[in-house]
Amino acid sequence: MGDYIALLDDDDQWFQNKIAVQMLVLDTDKSLIGISCSYKIIDEVNEDFKNEILRNMTVDFEKLLNRNYVGSCSFFLFKKTTGVFFDESLNSCQDWDFYLQLLKKTGLQIKVLPDFLVKYYVHSNQISGSGRKRISGEKAFLKKYKKHFSLKNHCNFSYIYRGWLRESLIETIGIENFVKLRSIYRKTIKSNS
């Protein structure tokens, strides 16, 4: 396993077969730099099952730029790559930024498996639940990748538009560009209905 790196947050739990399942796919598909998985969300306070996130996709830089389909670092196994680091200046979105760096540097892809391989525990101390830290990190993330956002890849902006990045996106790209983006998004939704 010397050619791979897997990280585990102290509050998450891998299923016993996680690494073996991911390595099998990563070893056979040379178009991949890393591999993620589906996961079960557990409420840490009372250990209750809350939800499960099932994904089965392959993402490149453009697709991942618009939404973190890979998820937490606990879900991820990747090939060692030099010159890619976690950006400690970001208060949140560090994992998303790291994945984008890997994709940009290597030109490869990340696969998200439909296998449930991690129990992801949610609790009140997570950065994703902390408003100010999260928003500050989102703004810095959007500024860092601002030059990569364009109206040509507007279909994937649905997550940012609808989700918790909306205000950060407006601040980063400006209200005029946001209004243009929103208009294109709405037209796309109508034409797909």
Domain that holds residue 168: 149-193
pLDDT for the residue 131: 59
- Please tell me the distance from the alpha carbon of residue 113 to that of residue 158, in angstroms, as a whole number: 22
Tell me: do 53 and 20 sit in the same domain: yes
147-160 pLDDT, tens digit per residue, is 887 655 555 455 55
The reported pLDDT for the residue numbered 153 is 55
Helix ranges, the chain (H): 18-28, 61-65, 94-106, 131-145, 158-162, 166-173, 175-192
pLDDT, residue 162, reads 52
Shared domain check, 43 and 65:
yes
CATH number at 40 reads 3.90.550.10
User: Does one domain contain both 34 and 48?
Assistant: yes
Phi, psi of 188 (to 5 degrees): -65, -45
Mark whether 121 and 176 lie in a shared domain: no
How many structural domains comprise the chain?
2
pLDDT at position 93 is 87
Looking at the fold, whether 29 and 49 belong to one and the same domain comes out as: yes
**Structure confidence at residue 52 (pLDDT):** 86
Residues 48, 124 within the same domain: yes
Low-confidence residues in the chain, pLDDT < 70: 1, 45-49, 123-132, 150-172, 185, 189-193
